[in-house]
């Protein structure tokens, strides 16, 4: 028997991990009366080499996420992106907005009115509308970006007034919790905000995406109402920076 190369093993692992995660997503969705097709499954590709990202795409991934503008733009020409959406999920600095607007399908990490205004301005310049999720700091953690829960509705309403940007939902990264109960509480809090803001039927706001759940907590997130999970290390293995 010939030994598998490191790459071959990695390709095999990625295919295996993807199908295992799909099964878990299906189960978690069913527990909440939904199905796999109700959940948008993103592969988070930060630090991952293009050949592995392309392999994941060949295995059916149709949504990828990157944290950094530069990394996204550097990899993009090497990716097989036919039919694949690509979203920015990391903090965006104002001076990088002009580079990323028009290059991604959605910016999930709109974490201030200031950055929303900049995205709006650059989008108008390019004659496009940029889809956006509002990032909420659901645990009110100093170490995290995101809008405070109590300010979210007001800021969503203000962003809704801007041209060139369309709010499509909320995104969050909860605090690290040792107990599942505490984690659920954070997920439920943002789910309630998502439903609440959606019920206001604001013009130019379409509350249809609740982006929460990563490698360690995507099943819990789905059971608490997430319809969009962002999974990296469970697909590609630990990140090497």
Ligand X SMILES: *Cc1c(COP(=O)(O)O)cnc(C)c1O
Q: Which residues contribute to the site for ligand X (CB under 6 A)?
A: 44, 46, 67, 89-90, 173, 214-216, 230-234
Closest distance of CB 174 from ligand X, Å: 11
Contact between 111 and 91 (Cβ < 8 Å): yes
Q: Which is nearer to ligand X, 157 or 175 (CB)?
A: 175
For residue 93, count CB atoms less than 10 angstroms from its CB and return exposed for 0-12, middle for 13-18, buried for 19 or more: exposed
Q: Which is nearer to ligand X, 96 or 121 (CB)?
A: 96
Q: Which is nearer to ligand X, 39 or 162 (CB)?
A: 39
Closest distance of CB 33 from ligand X, Å: 25
Closest distance of CB 239 from ligand X, Å: 7
Q: Which is nearer to ligand X, 124 or 214 (CB)?
A: 214
Task: Please tell me the distance from the alpha carbon of residue 19 to that of residue 61, in angstroms, as a whole number.
Answer: 11
Closest distance of CB 192 from ligand X, Å: 21
Per-residue tokens: 184: 């659920």
Packing angle, helices 180-199 and 149-160, rounded to 10: 30
Segment 147-153 long-range contacts (CB within 8 Å, at least 24 positions apart) = 147/111, 147/112, 149/189, 149/190, 149/193, 152/193, 152/197, 153/193, 153/196, 153/197, 153/200
Task: Please tell me the distance from the alpha carbon of residue 93 to that of residue 69, in angstroms, as a whole number.
Answer: 9
Closest distance of CB 47 from ligand X, Å: 9
Q: Which is nearer to ligand X, 97 or 235 (CB)?
A: 235
């Amino acid at each position: 028997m010939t030994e598998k190369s490191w790459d071959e093993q990695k390709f095999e692992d990625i295919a295996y991990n993807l199908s295992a995660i799909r099964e878990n997503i299906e189960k978690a969705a069913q527990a909440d009366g939904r199905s796999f097709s109700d959940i948008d499954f993103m592969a988070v590709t930060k630090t991952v080499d293009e050949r592995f990202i392309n392999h994941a795409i060949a295995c059916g991934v149709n949504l990828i996420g990157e944290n950094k503008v530069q990394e996204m733009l550097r990899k993009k020409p090497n990716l097989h992106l036919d039919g694949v959406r690509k979203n920015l999920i990391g903090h965006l600095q104002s001076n990088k907005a002009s580079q990323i607007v028009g290059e991604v399908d959605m910016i999930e990490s709109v974490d201030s009115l200031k950055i929303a205004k900049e995205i709006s301005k650059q989008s108008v310049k390019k004659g496009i509308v940029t889809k956006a999720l509002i990032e909420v700091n659901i645990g009110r953690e100093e170490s995290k970006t995101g809008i405070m829960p109590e300010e979210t509705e007001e800021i969503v309403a203000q962003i809704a007034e801007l041209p060139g940007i369309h709010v499509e939902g909320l995104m969050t990264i909860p605090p690290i919790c040792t107990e599942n109960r505490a984690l659920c509480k954070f997920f439920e809090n943002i789910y309630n905000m998502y439903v609440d803001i959606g019920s206001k039927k604001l013009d130019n706001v379409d509350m249809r995406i609740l982006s929460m759940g990563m490698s360690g907590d995507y099943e819990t997130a789905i059971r608490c109402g997430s319809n969009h999970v962002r999974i990296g290390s469970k697909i590609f293995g630990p990140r090497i920076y």
